[in-house]
Structure 1
């Protein structure tokens, strides 16, 4: 299991749980969660939230993509400064 305090470039969906990334400068939070499996592959749902602490996250948008593309997005977001985080308390 990856340490939550250190960057992990592996999408945590393989471990059966959601993945969360936060960008404090932009006050954004992104959730990567399992979608449906189809003949074309496994889908991942990306949900974006505006998060101004101490208020709860506010949903902004949602889209889906093939798992391989989601892995690339996860890795690129971490390369540009997004940090892995635990799910926010709602």
Structure 2
């Protein structure tokens, strides 16, 4: 696809398998990364942590298409892409 026809904003989580979102309002950071695929599905591990490092992280596994939907919903809710935090 010629570069002029490419969208300016990537609609999906990064293709390299890992993406990070930050919510200043909630003081949380969230990491999306590919998990081990099975013969039937592709899985994504979603880990959410507090920026203050208090408490335990919340780790979930979801199907890739559900993780993409969650990524897009979080962006609409005000989360921002950020560099890796840990």
Q: Determine whether 1:61 maps to 2:58.
A: yes
Shift, 1:40, TM fit: 2.5
TM-score by length of 2: 0.80
Q: 5+ unaligned residues in a row in structure 2: which ranges?
A: 1-7
When Rg is computed on C-alpha atoms for both structures, the one with the higher figure is 2
How many residues in Structure 1 have an aligned counterpart in Structure 2?
79
Runs of 4+ in 1 over 4 A off after TM superposition: 56-59
TM-score by length of 1: 0.76
**RMSD, matched Cα:** 2.1
Relative CO higher for 1 or 2, CA cutoff 8 Å, sep ≥ 6? 1
Q: 5+ unaligned residues in a row in structure 1: which ranges?
A: 1-5
